[in-house]
Amino acid sequence: MRPTLFAYAGGEPAFLDLAAAHHARCLADPELNHPFSHPDQNPQHVQRLAAYWAEVMGGPTTFSDSMSDQGAMLHLHSGNGDMSDLGRRFVECFVLAADDAHLPADSEFRAALRAYMEWAVDDVLSHDEDPAPTQSPMPHWSWDGLVTA
């Protein structure tokens, strides 16, 4: 049986490295810099992001147990109008951050990560005009894509 994407990546340290690398890339991007450099941004943003991605990829439920939930995350990132270019940039930063974080270079693994982030950005952007619903189940992603009940 294949390990979860979380385990294959290297567990919590790998997702913390990925979130830190992604955040650094977003800060360096001339368009993404603005939303990532707000002075009121949570000082634990990188840790929260790492916990979120870890949970989505099959890791512990730290994010939903003690930090927030999917509905709140969608609500926070939605209702901002057309942000499709930022979404594209966000995905590219994520893909490059996987290299920066030295995640496994396995092509199937990398394809699963990209597919997740493209799906996640599309999900957020589907609420570009109207805020997202406050109740939304936490997504779970596997080697084969979105895991549905």
Q: Which helix (H) or strand (E) holds 12?
A: helix 11-28
**What pLDDT, on the 0 to 100 scale, is given for residue 86?**
84
Which residues lie below 8 Å from residue 62, measured CB to CB, with a gap of 6+? 51, 54, 55
pLDDT per residue as tens digits for the range 108-149? 999 999 999 999 988 888 776 666 666 778 899 999 999 986
Which two tokens mark 99? 């290299």
Global pTM value: 0.89
Task: Read off the pLDDT band of 12 (50, 70, 90).
Answer: very high
Q: What is the mean pLDDT of residues 8-20?
A: 98
Does 31 or 82 have the greater pLDDT score?
31
User: All domains of the chain, ordered by start, with CATH?
Assistant: 5-146 (1.10.490.10)
Residues in the chain: 149
Task: Read off the pLDDT band of 70 (50, 70, 90).
Answer: confident
